[in-house]
Structure 1
Amino acid sequence: MDTLVLDEVVQIAEPNLVSAEFANRINYLEEQAKTLQESMRYAGSLQRSILPNERIFQNVFSDAFVIFQPKDIISGDFYWIFQHHDEVYFAVGDCTGHGVPGAMVNIAGNALLRQIIRLEGLSDPAKIVELLDQELTSLFNEHLTEGTTRDGMDLVFCKFNLSQMKGSFCGAGRPMILIRNGQLVEFKKGLDSIGHTSKESKEYETIHFGLEKGDQFYLFSDGYTDQFGGENVKKFNRQRFRNLLSSITDFDLEKQKSELIFHYNNWKGKQEQVDDICVVGIRI
């Protein structure tokens, strides 16, 4: 075969070889993506199995709802409840990021909270949050060879004694809303979050208050209020969220849940969900 004919054969063969290699590569990537998706779905199922059932809140309080809507398959947000003696502890956490990184911090914080109350014997919200901060910071930085991680969370943490009608709250970067007799009160979020910070020291404060029959409390991450949408594609924002809660305060909490979901979806429209969403509402 002369050189001219050989070159023509190579030119014909090379595209076929490239096409076959490309097709094999595509098949390999599709299989990897499928495996990853299956792993993520399983991780999401595991995460949801760790989170308490909404009925636990409904059994403890007069009425309650939970809205939990991850941006991805797994979430950096979490909600938590634990009864110990005559007191009920509950919280909503918003961990750094979403997806896998957020879920790792999520699971660690969830496990540490119960351990701190049961094994350490702490009951004051600020002391619990302070120790959680220490444990979480140590957990994610102890084995690093250099530097520090940026992992952490914002947390709203409560302790209620329903027999004595006493409540207490600690905000670590997240606020809490109370609606009492139609009046809305916001408990401030506190100055310091949990986890990594450049500050040398942190301060967490416990706020004590009495409970009254009919009080409604709302704990939430920032995913709902930070959602972009509406006619001008702006954030839903905290003020709009407060106004919405005030407008639905006379509904039972199942109806409130439906209204919050409806207004969120209506606001979001065709925009992408920007963050994990978690809202917990309870009525005394």
Structure 2
Amino acid sequence: MFQSKSIKTKYLFTGMLISCLSIVLVSVITYIVSFRITADLMDKRIKEITLRKAVEFDHWFQQKKLIIETLAQDISASGDLSKEYLVKLLKNKIKIYANDISDFYVGFEDKNRRALSGVGWIPPEGFDATVRPWYRAAVQSDSVVLTEPYVDAMSGTLVVTVAKSLKMNGKLIGVICTDIFITEVIKVVNSFNIGENSYALLLNEKGEILAHPYKEFLPTVQGFNPPDEKKWPEYKTLVNILMTRKNNDAISISDYTGGKTHFIFSTIDQNQWKFGIAISQSEYKKPLQILYLGFGIAFLISILIGLGIMYRMIKSMIAPVQSLTQTVSSFSEENLLVRAEISSDDEIGTLARAFNTMADTISNHSRTLETKVELRTQQLKEKNDKIMESLSYARRLQNAIIPNLQQKLGLDENQYFSIWKPRDTVGGDMFWCKTQENKKLLVVADCTGHGVPGALMTMTLSSILDAAAREIGLGSPLKILELVNQRLKENLMENNDDALIRDGADVAMLLYDNQLKTMTFVGAGISLFTADNGKVEEYKGHKNGIGYSFGKEIRFEEKKIPYKPGLKYYITTDGFLDQNKDPKKGGFGKEGLIKLIEKIFSMSMKDQKKVFENEIDLRLEKVSQRDDITIIGIEII
């Protein structure tokens, strides 16, 4: 035991020893707990990734099964099994699902009937559909089935057959099916990894390899090619564990390279395939190694800091100072009642009494301040509730003037899409439509301002449009725009020489006549874009909007637009064009819009809407929405 005549030295040595032991103990315990938490978090993250991908694949297969299920229901509902009807139906369905399906074919229970194909494929003589694996699997189940994958001899790619039995009045008629190439799934698996030393793999329900970075393990036309014990000794062990366990915990074994690897799999429910991620032990332990290094550095720093602080404190330590220090340390917002219990008449006693006086003053002020804060907080809450209630009501009012294009213009849901996204609860963007006999008028407007001021402008403009349509009809969008411009100026006192009001709106009007097959456009600050076979053309409106005081008369111009089936029309306010996705970069711009339309014009309007919405969400990940956004797309059928 350390011996010294100086109590200060004894306290110093004892304090240092206690400090070192405490830091060591806390550091070791913290590291062990942190190590386990970090490992669990890594496993959880990888499990979530594999599960998310498995769900994506599951949805992909489910879509294919739904197509076959729907087709089988159509055939059963029609009751017509003639060759002419079935071939026609299959061809129509191929056109509808051209992006998903290359052919449909039907095999019959009656062996005197030859199998039918939607693309005109004629089976060879002696072809018996009833002995095919897909036929047998389908007749043994009341639901849609997926066959085992196999390599197509012609394309060399993996194929799965989706099949469903056809029944009439409970009697088996045959089987409807299609072959789907799972190349897309394989590409996703092959390109997927979560780190430098990781890869993804895909196994079927038997544990046979469908996708793997090592090409020799992949199936061929002759069938599956399981790794032998020389190339991957623990492959069978991996499969046995997968086939027998019920959870998706990590499996740690050697992979085909011989290195220790962690495997985590998730099941694709539709066919019980296993999607997995393999990560090498070195990659897996990187965060843990960083954690170990960090704790080592933190431990050394803590020791040095602790020793330094302990040395300085204990060196000058005396009992009254310790007591006062403890009292001061205990005094906080959570404990304002603590007081120093020192009654000596020396400097320490004077300091303690001064502290107690200060603590009394702070305590009294704190109680008074808390009362005032609570009162003010309640007042602010009541005001905020009233403001939010008013905004909510304003939102409902503005929603009332935003039309349902499907109902108002008589459009099919596949003929159009509309996106209306105010920057705030309410906004200055709007669209409006009117139908009179065979004429249909669509108006898109971007009014001055955001929030409540912008919303008031949209309601004013909507009222003016209603009145103009009643007064002069839908004969000419140019006349309607001129009348709306005049009425809006009157409402805003734009022509008053004593006041120059800078409010107004950018407007686009599109009038089409279903009987005459004509399309007319007039714009004020907003352009119209058309897409035809990948070619995008812009029809510019006048550079100025309506309602503003420009010091001169504005003459707008009508433009005749091609009207033909398949042509697609797009109108957007500048909120989408100006929206950036990086604080230091500019907006999307017309050039970006044109490129996006060229990329997606062949999609259905419903899918195009999803693309635009995803683009908007992507741009709002790091920055706030700058302006109200409105996008309208229409296709002539």
TM-score in terms of structure 1 length:
0.89
User: Partner residue of 1:49?
Assistant: 400
Shift of 1:51: 0.9
CA RMSD for the aligned pairs?
A: 2.5
* TM-fit CA distance, 1:114: 2.1
1:37 aligns with 2:388: yes
- Matched residue of 1:269: which SS? coil
CA distance in 1, matches of 2:495, 2:533: 51
Q: How does 1:212-231 map to 2 (within 5 A)?
A: 212-230=564-582
2:539 aligned with 1:170:
no
What's 1:187 paired with?
539
CA drift of 1:235 comes to: 1.1
Distance 1:264 1:121 in 2: 36
Superposition deviation, residue 20 in structure 1:
2.4
Residue 593 of structure 2: aligned partner: 241
Give the deviation of 1:149 after TM superposition: 2.7
What whole-Å deviation, never above 9, does each CA across 1:158-204 have from its counterpart, x for those lacking one?
A: 11101211011111010010112221110012132111223221111
Is 1:77 the counterpart of 2:417? The answer is no
Tell me the SS of whatever aligns to 1:68.
strand
Give matches, 1:1-284, under 5 Å.
16-56=367-407, 59-60=410-411, 63-121=415-473, 123-141=475-493, 147-230=499-582, 233-284=585-636
SS of the residue corresponding to residue 228 of structure 1 reads: coil
**Counterpart Cα distance in 2 of 1:114 and 1:11:** 65
One-letter code of the match for 1:31?
E
Aligned-residue offset at 1:139:
0.7
* Kept in 2: contact 1:227–1:275 (CA 8 A): yes
Higher strand share: 1
CA distance in 1, matches of 2:497, 2:365: 48
Q: Which has the higher contact order (CA 8 A, sep 6+)?
A: 1
What is the match of residue 193 of structure 2? none
1:12 deviates by 6.9
Alpha-carbon distance between aligned partners in 2 of 1:121 and 1:52, rounded to the nearest angstrom: 19
Q: Deviations over 1:70-110 (max 9, x none)?
A: 11011100011110122100011001111111111111111
Q: Which residue identity lines up with residue 123 of structure 1 in the other structure? A: G
Task: Report which stretch shifted further, 15-24 or 113-122.
Answer: 15-24
TM superposition shift of 1:145 = 11
The residue aligned with 2:284 is: none
- Deviation track 1:15-45 (CA, whole Å, cap 9, x = no partner) reads 5444423332221112111111111012111
Post-superposition shift, 1:10?
Answer: 9.2
CA distance in 2, matches of 1:234, 1:143: 36
**Structure 1: 5+ residue stretches without partners:** 1-8
In structure 2, relative to structure 1, the CA distance for the partners of 1:275 and 1:60 (3 Å cut) is same
Q: What letter matches 1:28 in structure 2? A: Q
The verdict on how the C-alpha distance between 1:248 and 1:149 changes in structure 2, with shifts beyond 3 A counting, is: same
Query: What is the rounded CA distance, in whole Å, between the counterparts of 1:231 and 1:20 in structure 2?
Result: 42
Letter in 2 for 1:266: L
The structure 1 segments of at least 4 consecutive aligned residues displaced by more than 3 Å after TM superposition are 9-19, 142-146, 230-233
Give 3-state SS (helix, strand or coil) of 2:577's partner: coil
Q: Is the alpha carbon distance of 1:57 and 1:213 closer, same or farther for their aligned partners in structure 2, counting shifts above 3 Å? A: farther
Matched AA of 1:170: V
Give the secondary structure class of the aligned counterpart of 2:576. Answer: coil
1:189-224 Cα offsets, whole Å, 9 max, x none, are 213211122322111111123301111000111111
Query: Quick check: 1:236–1:267 contact (8 Å CA) kept in 2?
Result: no
Long gaps (5+) in structure 2: 1-359
- Residue 213 of structure 2: aligned partner: none
- Give the total of aligned pairs: 277
Which SS does the other structure have where 1:200 is aligned? coil
Give, in angstroms, the shift of residue 245 of structure 1.
0.9
**% same residue:** 28
Q: How far apart, in 1, do the equivalents of 2:492 and 2:371 lie?
A: 45
**TM-score, scaled relative to structure 2:** 0.41
